[in-house]
Chain A
Amino acid sequence: MAVLIAKWVIFVITSLLAIVSSLLMITRRNTIHSALFMILAFVASAILYLLLGCQFMAMIQIIVYAGAVMMLILFVIMMIDLSKEEKLKMKVTRTKIAGVIVSVLFMLALILVMGLNSVKGKLGALSSIGDAKTIGTLLFTKYLLPFEVASILLLAAMVGAVMLSKKKAFGGEDQ
């Protein structure tokens, strides 16, 4: 019982943290602040994964998203000049109103399609395969081919990254 209550308290705190930090992330004018709140949102969702029993997902969320993807986003922020945009006042334009309407409709559609019952969710199948050991055993036996194919996918991404950013190596002008 005490464990259940503790779990519930942690769930409420982390989900509130995730929601609040996501809202702060999209409303901050300073992009670096947005990025920091994004890390907080990622970490909060990692804890939520942990509560669902998906330990491996939680680790990946921290290593890949809060680590590497975040760094990529920071470099994008540093690459573009946002000093003008940061000084702009909030403006309500027709495009923004249309965007809000469309996203509310999309959310309603999602809720309708998934059905309100399934939103409650059940903790079952996932919690037994969530840890790294089970995933490792499955990945290196049953799903061996997808695993090896993943390395080719990463190779292709590597070639693409070099191709796009190092034009000089391909006879073009470097930037």
Chain B
Amino acid sequence: MLKAYLPVLILVLVAAGFAAFAVVASYLLGQHKPTRVKMAPYECGIASPGYGRTRIPLRYYTVAMLFLLFDLEVVFLYPWAVTFKKLGLFGLVEMMVFIGILLVGYIYVWKKGALEWD
């Protein structure tokens, strides 16, 4: 069973190796002449004002919380999708009930304006 994960392991090793190679090679082969401007965090060409770690509004957290809940819905969809053929129509109805209940929550969230930004 674990043999099926061998390609995943190889992919992880190749990815980690490539990342490490890129960093180490550029460190060893490149020239190092750091100036203040060069070392500044670069985003899109405009000099960044202030400290990078300012406090962000609570709204982001609301979206994050709602995302977590719908992510948990996906967790249930995963074993369902794997066994979909075996369960047949019964499984479909079950999942529709499950999604239906969560859809009520989604409509509630929408109507209460939790997805609005103002």
Residues of A within 8 A of B (CB): 3, 7, 10, 50-51, 53, 55-56, 59-60, 63-64, 67-69, 71-72, 75-76, 78-83, 131-133, 135-137, 139-141, 144, 147-148, 150-152, 154-155, 157-159, 161-162, 165-166, 168-169, 175
Does B75 belong to the interface (CB within 8 Å)?
A: yes
Stretch at the interface among B23-31, B34-42, B78-86: B78-86
User: Do the beta carbons of B66 and A161 come within 8 Å of each other?
Assistant: yes
User: Which one of A133, A141, A162 contacts B108 once the chains associate, using CB atoms below 8 Å?
Assistant: A162
Q: Which residues of A contact B20 (CB under 8 A)?
A: none
**In the complex, what's the smallest C-beta–C-beta distance from B40 to chain A, in angstroms?**
18
Q: How many residues from B make CB contacts under 8 Å with A?
A: 50
Cα A119 to Cα B68 in complex, Å, equals 33
Cα A140 to Cα B87 in complex, Å, equals 8
Cα A143 to Cα B25 in complex, Å, equals 54
User: Do the beta carbons of A148 and B83 come within 8 Å of each other?
Assistant: no
With A132-B79, A161-B62 in contact, is A79–B112 under 8 Å at CB?
A: no
Cα A161 to Cα B71 in complex, Å, equals 15
Q: What is the predominant secondary structure among interface residues of chain A facing chain B?
A: helix
**In the complex, what's the smallest C-beta–C-beta distance from A102 to chain B, in angstroms?**
31
With A137-B83, A162-B108 in contact, is A72–B113 under 8 Å at CB?
A: no
**In the complex, what's the smallest C-beta–C-beta distance from A14 to chain B, in angstroms?**
11
User: Do the beta carbons of B98 and A162 come within 8 Å of each other?
Assistant: no
User: Do the beta carbons of A151 and B102 come within 8 Å of each other?
Assistant: yes
Does B65 belong to the interface (CB within 8 Å)?
A: yes
Cα A133 to Cα B73 in complex, Å, equals 17
**Can you list 8 A-B contacts (CB < 8 A)?**
A10-B9, A75-B56, A141-B87, A147-B94, A147-B98, A148-B94, A150-B76, A151-B73
Q: Which residues of A contact B51 (CB under 8 A)?
A: 83
Closest to A74 in B: B64
Having A10-B9, A50-B2, A63-B71, one finds 13 other A-B pairs with CB under 8 Å, namely: A63-B78, A64-B71, A71-B68, A75-B61, A136-B82, A140-B79, A140-B94, A151-B98, A158-B102, A159-B105, A161-B114, A165-B62, A169-B114
User: Do the beta carbons of B56 and A78 come within 8 Å of each other?
Assistant: yes
Cα A68 to Cα B58 in complex, Å, equals 17
Most B CB contacts (10 A, CB to CB) among A64, A76, A158 go to A158
User: Do the beta carbons of A158 and B105 come within 8 Å of each other?
Assistant: yes
